[in-house]
Structure 1
Amino acid sequence: MMNKTILAALLSIVVFATIAAAAGLPDDLSPGFTFSKNFYDVYGKPNLTATIIGDNEFERGDEVTLEINLINEAVVLGFESDRMPDDDNEEDLAKMELGYELQQIDAITVTAMLIAPVGSPIDVKSGPQQAGSIRGGEGAHGTVEFNIEIDENAPAGIYPLMLLLDYIYQKNVQTSGNVSESRTDVNFWYDTLNQTQPITISVRKLADFEITGVSSDIRAGEDGGVLRITYTNTGEEIAADAIARISVTDPFSSTDDQAYLGTLAPGESATAMFVIDADSHATLKPYGIDTEIRFEDETGKSRISESMTATATISPEILISDKIKPYIMPAVLIVLLVIIASGVRYYLKNFTEK
């Protein structure tokens, strides 16, 4: 299987080539370009830098739009004369050429593609984006937007992304004709450039919870059933004043649907007990009960965990005969003891006195 990064880079190049062709820009030299008639060579190329606009810190499970600012920081580094003009007309042509040559630092038809490394918990949902043309030497900028999704199980930390930039720039210009008679030809030589800009986003540290144990003693038609749920903080941050709560639906009901867990550091667990009543017509099977935890993070902000599901099983209702069965034998023994005691007393009273 090809590396996703390589595939993304290849796709970016293909997209760029398609756009360049659609724009009608030449791949190499204009047909009329003549090196022997070139007056100047200018030094400098476009140089795009990328930064995220706004906050780059997000939470696991977020689906967000990254707005990225592209700034062309290019400057003309200098120029040199290729040949001297032979007459007044060529002096005018040389001046015209130099004016065009200074546009060499402009980035034309910029295409941007954002990719994440293989195995990253960041999923880039958007394809290639167009930023238009960005002039150089003036701090000009363009923006592109990408939709990303952060995996719900992404560990806290900093994650790198790569922004691939493809664009055309004007490599050289050659002028010819007669300026005074307004009969001039301008021939361009274009080339392509590729840049890779690193982009990083941060996944915020948060407390997170998992159910690590469930036990239930709930019987159809009986009140006061007990559901015990053990929660474990699997996140990277302390959860303070944690309160667990359940949401019950038919055939359950409860007036005791919250339990205080206290403060849970990463890796710590706590067990909550809930009192649940079950309808007498409830089917004897396992039921899913939704539960969540409200807590305060390390900044004091109130948060609610992702919803979790605990499995509770309804047991059969205990019959009256079954309920009293444990007491029958003790009752019989007590009756026998009373009879024996009465007999002993009667014997002692009526026979020992004689």
Structure 2
Amino acid sequence: MVYSAVLRNGEPKGNNCGSYKRSVSLKGSRNGSEGAWGILWILCAALAVFLLIAVSPVSAGEQVMAGNPELSAHIVGTNEFSPGDDLSLQAEIENTGLNEFMIVKSGIISPGDLSSTAKQLTVTLGAGDAPLVVKADPQIAGDLPASQSATEAFHITVNKYAPAGVYQLPVILNYTYLYQANQEGSETLNYQYKSVNQTILVPIHIKPQIEIAVSDVQADNLNAGIEGYVNLTVKNVGSDNGQNAVVQVRQSQDSPLVPTEGSNYIGDFPVGVVTNCSFRVTVDHDAQQKTYPLDVLVYYKNYEGDYVDSPIETVGVPVGQKVKFTMTPVDASMSPGGKTVLTYQVQNVGGTTAYNAEARISAIVPFTCNDDTSFLGTIAPGETRTASFDITADSDATVKDYGMDAEVLYRDSLDNQFTSDPLKANIQVVPPFNPVNLIGLPALIVILLAVLAAAGYGAYLRWFKPR
């Protein structure tokens, strides 16, 4: 028997064995000696046993004669994504290669590698023509034997304005495999490997959806501490024609802008359509004069008939300075036990108009308010109004400066009532009028003597002067 075995992948393999024929011709009569036949069979059996003993090894080697890696790739889980998605994509690589047949024979060396194993496998995910970015380096999967699989993760970000459609992502596989193993002598096996660069296209589907772009933001009487309007111009720049659409605004995290009327129904919202919406918003009292975020989105029925939210678009909304007042005394002094009308100048130093404003004070000891409220009317930024209060001081009031608590109540342009920050109405208690304190005692004596002298001289002229 002649034997030849070369391990090659992708090429014809075979076990070329020589043919063996045996032809026996016996001529003679049936009367031949049966003893001769017995001797012949004994000799043949002995020869067969001898040959088996001579050629049979203690252990046999084996060689796989055919097989190579057969790799495929697919996405684990869903292959549908939305514009703006930022996620981890799982790609599974499967080796379906087979070892077709094996030879076991004495005198050959068993290879350490199988030809169906993909060795040093590296997996790379490309974007192809898909509107996305792959944010991952090539992944090293190592050796992948036949009938096994490996899963690699790739971070991808889909373009926010990605057009809907089916795209092919290239999965690039680089590996080597055992192509040929030649035995040289009884103790040496020469390996020959081949490198493979294989590209497999896996499909993904980017779903249609509404994407919005806010091109204009206008604030109407939107100041800290009051309520106003936000006017938006919104365009559908996505790939889905929304139905029963409602444009909504929501508070953005800890923003001081809180919508009080945050929905605007617009109905059908096809791709490319522009709509103008107005929303009522309250601004926190502690907000500063600057721009704050506000979230905008569209709630709509999509192409599958499901009601969904569009991705959020965050816009900046300018907030003006809050309403602020100052109170300056004009005539705010009185004596113990006195009753008077105190007047103050109230000025609007804020950023918006106060409507139907009125000033109010809270009396403290030793004062009593006979009228603690003064109507001011409408005060635009920078304008001043006079506030008057009827006050009585106790007779035992200490002579010094006092400060009474005051505030201004007002309404905004939407007729919501607000109260200003606390103010101070300063008032001064002064001693009662006393001439001695005004001109001093010596001067007072001189004045009195002069008055008496004048009075005496007048009496003299009238009664004692000779006629």
- Structure 1 position 269 matched with structure 2 position 279: no
Match of 2:163 among 130, 155, 158: 155
Match of 1:247 among 251, 261, 269: 251
Partner of 2:412: none
Q: Within 5 A, what are the aligned runs for 1:1-354?
A: 39-44=5-10, 45-74=68-97, 92-93=106-107, 96=108, 100=111, 103-117=114-128, 121-136=131-146, 139-176=147-184, 184-218=187-221, 220=223, 225-239=228-242, 240-247=244-251, 255-276=260-281, 287-299=292-304, 300-312=306-318, 314=320, 316-318=351-353, 320=378
- Aligned-partner SS, 1:236: coil
How far is 1:304 from its partner?
A: 4.5
Give the alignment's Cα RMSD to 1 decimal.
Answer: 3.9
Q: Which amino acid aligns with 1:244?
A: Q
| Whole-angstrom CA distance in 2 between matches of 1:292 and 1:279 | 22
Distance of aligned partners of 1:246 and 1:261 in 2 relative to their CA distance in 1, 3 Å threshold: farther
Indicate the larger mover: 160-169 or 312-321: 312-321
Distance of aligned partners of 1:161 and 1:39 in 2 relative to their CA distance in 1, 3 Å threshold: same
How far is 1:234 from its partner?
A: 1.4
How far is 1:280 from its partner?
A: 8.8
- Aligned-partner SS, 1:103: coil
- TM-score, normalization: structure 1? 0.61
- Aligned-partner SS, 1:104: coil
| Whole-angstrom CA distance in 1 between matches of 2:224 and 2:152 | 62
How far is 1:58 from its partner?
A: 0.9
* Cα pair 2:208 2:303 within 8 Å, conserved: no
Distance of aligned partners of 1:206 and 1:277 in 2 relative to their CA distance in 1, 3 Å threshold: closer
| Whole-angstrom CA distance in 1 between matches of 2:91 and 2:258 | 51
| Whole-angstrom CA distance in 1 between matches of 2:255 and 2:88 | 40
How far is 1:310 from its partner?
A: 4.6
Could you list the per-position Cα deviations for residues 127-163 of structure 1 after superposition, in whole angstroms to 9, with x for gaps in the alignment? 1222232334xx4433322222222232222333322
Partner of 1:33: none
Distance of aligned partners of 1:282 and 1:155 in 2 relative to their CA distance in 1, 3 Å threshold: same
| Whole-angstrom CA distance in 2 between matches of 1:204 and 1:91 | 59
Partner of 2:396: none
How far is 1:286 from its partner?
A: 5.3
How far is 1:321 from its partner?
A: 7.1
Report the number of matched residues.
267
| Whole-angstrom CA distance in 2 between matches of 1:146 and 1:234 | 28
Q: Which amino acid aligns with 1:160?
A: Q
- Aligned-partner SS, 2:106: helix
Q: Which amino acid aligns with 1:317?
A: T
Partner of 2:16: none
Q: Which amino acid aligns with 1:307?
A: E
Distance of aligned partners of 1:76 and 1:257 in 2 relative to their CA distance in 1, 3 Å threshold: closer
* Cα pair 2:113 2:178 within 8 Å, conserved: no
* Cα pair 1:244 1:261 within 8 Å, conserved: no
Q: Which amino acid aligns with 2:308?
A: S
- TM-score, normalization: structure 2? 0.48
Could you list the per-position Cα deviations for residues 93-148 of structure 1 after superposition, in whole angstroms to 9, with x for gaps in the alignment? 3xx46x6499323322211122234x853222221222232334xx4433322222
How far is 1:318 from its partner?
A: 3.9
* Cα pair 1:109 1:133 within 8 Å, conserved: yes
More helix by share: 1
Distance of aligned partners of 1:295 and 1:195 in 2 relative to their CA distance in 1, 3 Å threshold: same
Q: How many percent identity over aligned positions?
A: 23
* Cα pair 1:244 1:293 within 8 Å, conserved: yes
* Cα pair 2:221 2:352 within 8 Å, conserved: no
Larger RCO of the pair (alpha carbons < 8 Å, separation 6+):
1
Indicate the larger mover: 247-256 or 68-77: 247-256
* Cα pair 1:293 1:304 within 8 Å, conserved: yes
Could you list the per-position Cα deviations for residues 203-262 of structure 1 after superposition, in whole angstroms to 9, with x for gaps in the alignment? 211111111333333165896633322222211113334241243888766532333333
- Aligned-partner SS, 2:83: coil
Q: Which amino acid aligns with 2:188?
A: D
- Aligned-partner SS, 2:221: strand
| Whole-angstrom CA distance in 2 between matches of 1:128 and 1:220 | 53
Distance of aligned partners of 1:322 and 1:247 in 2 relative to their CA distance in 1, 3 Å threshold: same
| Whole-angstrom CA distance in 1 between matches of 2:176 and 2:286 | 74
Q: Which amino acid aligns with 1:268?
A: V
